[in-house]
């Protein structure tokens, strides 16, 4: 019997570690796709001229890529900061249409820890997207970022909170425990 693919959302503020966790989680699952929407957005020409339009286009592209990968029977892991529900609803609908399981998680941090991480990232970015995004978000935004995620989570009680202040290996272990078929993924075949 073939396992249902998983569409895993790692929601979290910039600096929470969602892209790193998404890449590591995908690497543990055969042919899983770590789909980074910021990378798609920054691949669009003149993306920073209209952040709203480039963000919407990147999300449309992400949905199309995710659909193709889920339809092929493979997992998709998306790390993205979402403070509003429309894209979440689209992801849930996509999972349902593809016969996939939607798993929603949120990486949570307190304000001082997030501000510290954003400052460290500004001083020494380790990915090109961080340099680009740091023009628009910084340590001074930590309180608003934490508050907006908490407001969203109040409306999304099924989202699993992951304490992003813990070591990466601990978060990976907890994440794996949330995913169905974690023990059987090596035997998974395309549908």
Which tens digit of pLDDT belongs to each residue from 2-59?
A: 689 999 999 999 999 999 999 999 999 999 999 999 999 989 999 889 989 999 999 9
pLDDT for 72: 97
Q: What is the enclosing helix (H) or strand (E) of 149?
A: helix 142-154
pLDDT tens readout for residues 140-186: 999 999 999 999 999 999 999 999 999 999 999 999 998 876 444 33
Average pLDDT, whole number, for the chain? 88
Q: Is the pLDDT of residue 121 over 90?
A: no
- Going from N- to C-terminal start, the domains of the chain cover 9-181
Separation between Cα atoms, residue 8 and residue 79, nearest integer Å: 8
Separation between Cα atoms, residue 15 and residue 174, nearest integer Å: 19
pLDDT tens readout for residues 68-99: 999 999 999 999 999 999 999 999 999 999 99
CA-closest candidate to residue 22, choices 80, 109, 90: 80
Q: What CATH topology corresponds to 9-181?
A: Rossmann fold (3.40.50)
CB 33 within 8 A of CB 69: yes
CB 47 within 8 A of CB 54: yes
Tell me the average pLDDT across 107-135. Answer: 79
């Amino acid at each position: 019997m073939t396992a249902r693919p998983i569409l895993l959302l790692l929601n979290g503020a910039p600096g929470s570690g969602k892209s790193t966790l998404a890449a590591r989680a995908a690497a543990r699952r055969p042919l899983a796709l770590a789909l980074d929407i910021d990378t798609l957005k920054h691949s669009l020409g003149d993306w920073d001229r209209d952040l709203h339009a480039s963000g919407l286009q990147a999300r449309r592209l992400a949905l199309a890529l995710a659909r193709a990968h889920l339809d092929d029977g493979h997992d998709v892991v998306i790390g993205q900061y979402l403070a509003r529900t429309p894209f979440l609803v689209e992801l849930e609908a996509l999972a349902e249409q593809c016969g996939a399981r939607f798993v929603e998680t949120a990486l949570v941090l307190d304000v001082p820890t997030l501000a510290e991480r954003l400052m460290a990232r500004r001083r020494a970015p380790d990915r090109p997207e961080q340099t680009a995004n740091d023009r628009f978000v910084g340590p001074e935004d930590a309180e608003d970022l934490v508050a907006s995620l908490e407001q969203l989570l109040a409306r999304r009680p099924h989202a699993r909170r992951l304490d992003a202040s813990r070591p990466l290996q601990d978060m990976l272990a907890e994440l794996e425990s949330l995913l169905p078929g974690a023990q059987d993924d090596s035997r998974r075949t395309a549908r």
